[in-house]
Structure 1
Amino acid sequence: MIDVTRAEQLFGILAEVTDQPLYEDSARAELSATLAITALEIARSVRILCAADQLLGATVCLRSQFESLVRSVWTLHCASEHEIRRLSTNSLTPETAQGAKNIPLAAQMLEDLEEIPSLKNLMVALNEFKASAWRPLNSFVHAGLHAVIHTKFGWPQDLVGQTFRMSNGLCLLAFTQIGLLNGTPGIQGEIIALAASFSSVLPKYRDST
């Protein structure tokens, strides 16, 4: 079941909890927050498309949501000052666009993040998503076999629901990232507690995670 209203209720609560100023006034923190918000904005499109049974568009957006979240975390922990400057420009020109293209891709960002001990728990969630969903999402994005088969024969309802739930799960991570950037004490535990009663719209994580 695609219960968009229930998901919006959860994200409204989390938005209130994380609506605080950034803990530091820096280009790095601001860029990381912007990318986390981007992930949340894309997630809204995923929910709308899932509710309309438009899985092809939803899966394309889901991959973009994941990449935005990964880039948000990577920006905060791994990006060089030069990369921060290239991504923090306020003008969109052929020159600035070309400069931004030289930023590492998501796979390399994940490898970089693996080297940071404090992100161990987060990496479990990100790697689990990548292991289970990355190849199918790439196929949808590039009009591969997954896109062809499901366009011809329709979308299994469980696949629509799975996409909806995965996107909502990534939203929890994005809100956590924003809360960390705001310096909100105990934000991870608070988000987990608040999300506990919204399991109907969230992924069924394994006990080991």
Structure 2
Amino acid sequence: MTEKALNHLLDRTAEFHEAVHQHVGELLPVPEPRFLTAFQSGLLSLEHALSAFMLFQHGLCPSAIALARPQYESLVRGVWLLHAASDLWVNKLSEPLSLESAKRANEGLGLADMLKELEAAPSAPAGIVAQLREYKEVAWKAMNSYTHGGLHPISRTLTGYPPQLIYDVVRNSNAVVALTAQLQSVLTGQPANMEPVRQIHETYKDVLPIVHSPA
């Protein structure tokens, strides 16, 4: 991996983020609590991804990589809210923030349980859920290490961040962004909103790992 290749990836990723945010900025979710709350979770995932990318641009690698976990978790929660969450949990996560509502929400399901419920939900897209599960199995320990200031960031602070590592992390983050763009489009209830996502996948396939294009 060369610095030139990494810089090209970062330049193309900037364009990719712009295209995704332009598309998502034009979307309106179905005006129902389940769709609205899932949409907000998707927006949060996109914000984490953009923030991580900006940190990478400034060479702040440990903080950038630490955002991989909340970016991923926010997407999983959005998919779970749409396909598997009970009405009770939708209501808990959509009510105004207060000490009491925060306490109730913090008693919610963890990531592993959300994935299990998604795998059992008839309406959940099996291909997307499988990708979310695979991502967790491959990257979870490293994501936790960066989030909690463990061995990975401490060691890399001493040895530096090789271009290949940054390259791989950025591409994986882009994959989560691509999946989130699909989620946000589905939440509008308008199938036509998936066509721009297909075009984005095709145009920016060079900055993505293998991600199944939306059907």
TM score, norm. by length of structure 2: 0.86
Partner Cα distance (1:41, 1:4) in 2: 17
Structure 1 residue 4 displacement after superposition: 4.0
Which position in structure 1 is the counterpart of 2:51? 45
The answer to whether the 8 A contact 1:60-1:141 is kept is yes
Gap regions ≥5 residues in structure 1 = none
Counterpart selection for 1:109 from 103, 110, 114: 114
Which position in structure 2 is the counterpart of 1:20? 27
Partner Cα distance (2:18, 2:150) in 1: 36
Q: CA offsets, 1:88-135, max 9 Å, x none?
A: 122x32212111101111111111111135411102221221121111
Counterpart selection for 2:135 from 125, 129, 133: 129
Letter in 2 for 1:86: K
Which position in structure 2 is the counterpart of 1:178? 184
2:12 counterpart of 1:6: yes
Q: Map 1:1-209 to 2 at 5 A.
A: 1-2=6-7, 3-18=9-24, 19-22=26-29, 24-90=30-96, 92-117=97-122, 118-185=124-191, 187-188=193-194, 190-204=196-210
Structure 1 residue 140 displacement after superposition: 1.4
Q: CA offsets, 1:115-161, max 9 Å, x none?
A: 13541110222122112111111111122221221122111211111
* 1:159 partner SS: helix
Partner Cα distance (1:42, 1:203) in 2: 19
Partner Cα distance (1:176, 1:183) in 2: 12
Partner Cα distance (1:101, 1:36) in 2: 19
What is the percent sequence identity of the aligned residues?
A: 28
The answer to whether the 8 A contact 1:50-1:161 is kept is no
Letter in 2 for 1:30: L
Structure 1 residue 187 displacement after superposition: 5.0
The answer to whether the 8 A contact 1:10-1:195 is kept is no
Partner Cα distance (1:189, 1:197) in 2: 12
Structure 1 residue 79 displacement after superposition: 1.3
